[in-house]
Amino acid sequence: MARVTTARLRPWRGVVLAFAAIYFLVPLAASAIFTVDVPGQGFTLDAYGQIFAAEGFTTSLLLSLELAAATVLVVLLLMVPAMVALRLSAPRLRPVVEVVCSLPLVVPPIALVAGVRTVLGWGPEYLSSTPLFQTFVAVQNPDFPVVLVLTDVVMALPFVYRALDAGLRAVDVRTLVEAARSCGASWPRALVNAVLPNLRGALLNASFLTLALVLGEFTVASLLGFQPFAVWIVTASGSQAQLSVAVSVLSLLVTWALLLALTAFSGRRSSTRTASQE
């Protein structure tokens, strides 16, 4: 009966995948054609050749990569110990933590940035005579705006929580920690040597989702007056539309390549682990 049901559903899977491919690939193909087809000149790759020489491209890209690396580091340092402690010591608090981590999906980014701007505007006015005034100035440094890292960490919480929760559900964390502790390992060493290697796939998924979010985040950075990569693309589109579309297509292809590489790496690790166990 299961085979018959699967055989009946298989054609529908192909139809759904075909519609999904059309939905995603047609706009991408139209954008790619727009970047290489110039009226009166025909096919040309000048838009892609101008990317690296465009003003602000390198600076904004490096800033986004720095923000992404810092965001990944902070959110993992925050969530991994919390999720492990939650699973070992307080499993009843899991629904509370899940709701808290899911709040950024409910709160619009425009509301988040409105609150951040209010705090940043209130701080210098009332704390100008205290040492905290320099803290408010430092977190808004245009060379590396720490405030963007903090907001990106908040927005990445739902995705990181789901990725880590799925990884922890597939691992017997309690047994691993107890075995490491019985061998004389401290709690930090048990976490690093026993738990983290078994969460490699979950950590990679959480890191990739956070990286994609930071590279594509526009609303918060734009309203706060900073110019990472996503904001630079929109700014460049006002005077160089073809160049901005070429950058968008290239960044999308790079993101897809990272996703495929991550999927292949995780699959290879899983197959290697299964073969070693057998």
Whether 50 has a pLDDT exceeding 70, the answer reads yes
Tokens in use for 72? 């990944």
Q: How sure is the predictor about 269, in pLDDT bands with cuts at 50, 70 and 90?
A: low
Whether 2 has a pLDDT exceeding 50, the answer reads no
Give percent of the chain with pLDDT exceeding 90: 11
DSSP 194: I
Whether 3 has a pLDDT exceeding 60, the answer reads no
Mean of the per-residue pLDDT values of the chain: 81
Q: How many CA atoms lie within 13 A of 191 on its CB side?
A: 13
Of 57, 247, 69, the C-alpha closest to 148 is: 69
Q: What is the pLDDT of residues 121-175, one digit of tens each?
A: 776 666 667 777 777 778 888 889 999 999 999 999 999 999 998 888 888 888 8
Query: Which burial class, exposed, middle or buried, applies to 99 when counting CB atoms under 10 A from its CB (0-12, 13-18, 19+)?
Result: exposed
Neighbours of 115 (CB within 10 A): 11
d(CA 233, CA 206): 25
- What is the structure's pLDDT at 271? 54
Question: What one-character-per-residue DSSP string does 201-230 give?
Answer: HHHHHHHHHHHHHHHH--HHHHHHT---HH
Query: Distance of CA 131 to CAs 111, 127, 134, 235, Å?
Result: 28, 8, 6, 36
d(CA 194, CA 199): 9
Residues 151 and 112 sit within 8 Å (Cβ to Cβ): yes
Query: Distance of CA 197 to CAs 6, 43, 63, Å?
Result: 36, 49, 30
- What is the structure's pLDDT at 61? 84
| More confident: 277 or 257 | 257
Beta bridge partners of 38: 42
- What is the structure's pLDDT at 185? 78
Residues 145 and 226 sit within 8 Å (Cβ to Cβ): yes
Q: Domain 56-228, what architecture?
A: Orthogonal Bundle (1.10)
Q: What is the pLDDT of residues 105-123, one digit of tens each?
A: 888 888 888 888 888 877 6
Phi and psi angles of residue 87, each rounded to the nearest 5 degrees, phi first: -75, -30
∠ Cα 34 35 39 (to 5°): 65
Q: What is the pLDDT of residues 183-215, one digit of tens each?
A: 877 777 888 888 888 888 888 888 888 988 998
Q: What is the pLDDT of residues 16-36, one digit of tens each?
A: 888 888 888 888 888 888 888
Q: How sure is the predictor about 273, in pLDDT bands with cuts at 50, 70 and 90?
A: low
Tokens in use for 3? 């085979």
